[in-house]
Chain A
Amino acid sequence: MQGGTDMLFFWVALWCYLAATVGASVYAGTRKDGVRTIVFFVTLLGFASNTGALVMRSVLSGHPPVTNLFEYLSFFAWAIVLGFLIIWRKKGLELLTAFASTVAFAMMAMASLFPTDVSRQLIPALQSYWLWIHVSMAIMAEAAFAVAFVASLMCIMGDRRGHTRLPNRNLLDSIAYRAIGIGFPLFTVGALFAGAVWAQRAWGTPWSWDPKETSSLIVWLVYAIYLHVRRTRKGSIALTSGLSVLGFTLTILTILGSKFLGGLHSYG
């Protein structure tokens, strides 16, 4: 079954996120508060539309909108924008939050490449309340990693180009750490723990070294390295920022990986 009104809302959200990204670039050049306000409202409009699309899809399908890559990436974009909106008013992070829509736009654009069909019938493997717990917590964790990614990327850009217009790098580093401090426990509990409990019930083993499981472990290990390196004297901001960027890149590859690597998680 093809999506209906939810797809209209999806496209409105996608174009709003693109417009907000362009607006953020203008703001980066001009630093005019008015431009940032416009970016905020366009982002908010995109977020509202994204919310509408997800709610409509849930109503249409009768289950959480996380059962294929299109739905997962749309939800992921929504969670990323939510993460940035939470820290929108924080002083000194005006430029960081202005780019909230950029990563969300990338996710929506990727989502649009996958089949958008709605099915009311879940396959037997997904008929469990663990679907909602496991996937939604993983998405929230990954959204926190996305916030850390943008902050870390700005740290690296500031280092490379000596940008004085970028936010203070200690503040960016602190934001990245706090975001990972939220994302890492959520990822451990949602993606790994809840996933293991569900896998035990469904497949008879909590861990089977499936490509998606192993990729998630790799993501977890990279952020564990980040947290350890940050506590050593050798752990410069440049190094930890690099690890944060690497962690998020691997997160994206993990999300898309099941499509190409196959295994037990290849549903959508």
Chain B
Amino acid sequence: MTLWLLVVAVIVPTVFLKKFRRWLSSMTGAVWILVGLTVMSLLGVMIGQNLSPDAYTHRYGQVVGSFVYRSGLSDIFTSWYFLLLVAVLAASLVACSFGRLRKLAAARGAGRASRAGSLLLHLSMVVILAGGAVTAVFGFRYPAPVYLSAGDEMEVPEGGFTIRVDAASTEFSDEGVIADYFSDVVVIEDGEEILSHRIEVNSPLVHNGVGLYQHEMLPSATSVLEVVFGIVVLTEDGELPLATIAVPFNEEFELPGTDITLKVLEFLADFTYDIESRTASLISLSHRNPAVLVRISEAGSVIGDRWIFADVQTHRDDTGLPCRLFLFDYLPDYERGLTRFELSRQPGTPLLFIGFAAMSLGLCLTFWTRTGRPSTPRR
């Protein structure tokens, strides 16, 4: 709707107002439009885009922060005034191209290549803007990232198909840094598996016009390979010195020299606890507040299950336990990692790339042919 209003707002004065049309096709008009776009883009970069209202208030104070948010400066590239200026630019390019077409028809000899290049350059920008408009009207971008694990299935919005993730894995180099991450997916349409594809960062899956793009891979938020505890064993003679001990996930582990057994039952990457229902759960998928549920046994009988945190301050209830524990470290489980996809459909992209290709050709003709050279002297 906004787009159509903008188009009408530009087309009507262009058609009916001769002065405005002349200004649009003039060099001065072009310069002022470009200056306007530059200033708005600068504001966009300097202010910071799509932050929360509180972030602007914190950054610029109550009055200015509120103004930034309410005036649309916080999302300037979709604001009506930025889009209006882009529409004016498109009108200017079309008006200017008519003049260039007349000059091209009149040109003779070596100047024709440069003039043709200049015309192509200006028209290609209209094609690029049209590509952007097509995506804005008919495109779609899933508003939130999608996280899936191996074995998960998801119906792809606006795609008319389902994907199943068979593997989501991360590979590491000898230096221990991430070398690659990938997701093996199967596309299911009308109940039939029709293709399988390995999605990597620069190798998306595009099916029925909808693309799935690999953005990142998180280690599992609910399992780890191994937990390293800091532990102080309490004996009748007092405390033993602090030691660290690695315990495999979900396996019973007897502390050497004691009859104490530990078993890590659960892992939560970002722990939260609901007092009413007395249940622990994940507040997010990031590893911000990791916690493990440990079953502590002594001489074969269970003493108790305790949530253990990295922050020692959170350990209050150690009464009755034969040891004091805190979460020192853990080995993340990348095998059962969470793959993060971005979903989008960009129907204007082919038009955009055709425009860019034409623009490249136009630039070469304009600047790199013999007649594209500068005129001197000047003031």
Residues of chain A having any CB pair with chain B under 8 Å? 1, 119-121, 123-125, 127-128, 130, 170-171, 173-174, 177-178, 181-182, 184-185, 188-189, 192-193, 196-198, 200-207, 209, 211, 214-215, 217-218, 221-222, 224-225, 228-232, 234-237, 257, 261
A170-B377, A215-B45, A237-B379 are known contacts. Are A184 and B37 too (CB-CB below 8 A)?
no
Cα distance A120–B176 in the bound complex, in angstroms = 11
A225-B31, A228-B27, A232-B28 are known contacts. Are A202 and B202 too (CB-CB below 8 A)?
yes
The reply to whether the CB of B299 lies closer than 8 angstroms to some CB of chain A is: no
* Complex contact A124–B42 (CB within 8 A): no
Which residue on chain B has the smallest CB distance to residue A240? B378
**Set B141, B211, B379: member contacting A236, Cβ < 8 A:** B379
A209-B44, A209-B77 are known contacts. Are A184 and B177 too (CB-CB below 8 A)?
no
B: interface residue count bin? 35 or more
- Beyond A204-B213, A232-B27, list 12 extra A-B contacts (CB 8 Å): A124-B178, A124-B214, A127-B180, A188-B359, A196-B353, A204-B344, A209-B77, A214-B41, A214-B77, A224-B34, A225-B31, A228-B30
**Set B44, B201, B357: member contacting A127, Cβ < 8 A:** B201
The reply to whether the CB of B190 lies closer than 8 angstroms to some CB of chain A is: no
Cα distance A236–B364 in the bound complex, in angstroms = 25
A173-B376, A185-B368, A228-B31 are known contacts. Are A202 and B44 too (CB-CB below 8 A)?
no
Chain A residues, CB < 8 A from B215 = 203
Cα distance A111–B71 in the bound complex, in angstroms = 39
* Complex contact A200–B27 (CB within 8 A): no
Chain B residues, CB < 8 A from A203 = 213, 215, 342
* Complex contact B202–A200 (CB within 8 A): no
* Complex contact A204–B342 (CB within 8 A): yes
* Complex contact A206–B45 (CB within 8 A): no
Contact mask B239-262 → A, CB, 8 Å, 1/0? Answer: 000000000000000000000000
Cα distance A268–B141 in the bound complex, in angstroms = 28
Which residue on chain A has the smallest CB distance to residue B210? A204
**Set B49, B141, B175, B200: member contacting A209, Cβ < 8 A:** B49
Cα distance A196–B357 in the bound complex, in angstroms = 12
* Complex contact A204–B204 (CB within 8 A): yes
Cα distance A178–B372 in the bound complex, in angstroms = 10
Q: Give, as a whole number of angstroms, the nearest-CB distance from B23 to chain A.
A: 13
Residues of chain B from 162 to 220 with CB closer than 8 A to chain A in the complex: 173, 175, 177-181, 200-204, 211, 213-215
* Complex contact A174–B376 (CB within 8 A): yes
Nearest 4 A/B pairs, CB to CB: A185-B363, A204-B213, A121-B173, A181-B367
* Complex contact A221–B379 (CB within 8 A): no
The reply to whether the CB of B281 lies closer than 8 angstroms to some CB of chain A is: no
Chain B residues, CB < 8 A from A214 = 41, 44-45, 77
Chain A residues, CB < 8 A from B49 = 209
* Complex contact B180–A124 (CB within 8 A): yes
* Complex contact B178–A202 (CB within 8 A): no
Cα distance A201–B322 in the bound complex, in angstroms = 56
Cα distance A124–B368 in the bound complex, in angstroms = 37
The reply to whether the CB of B284 lies closer than 8 angstroms to some CB of chain A is: no
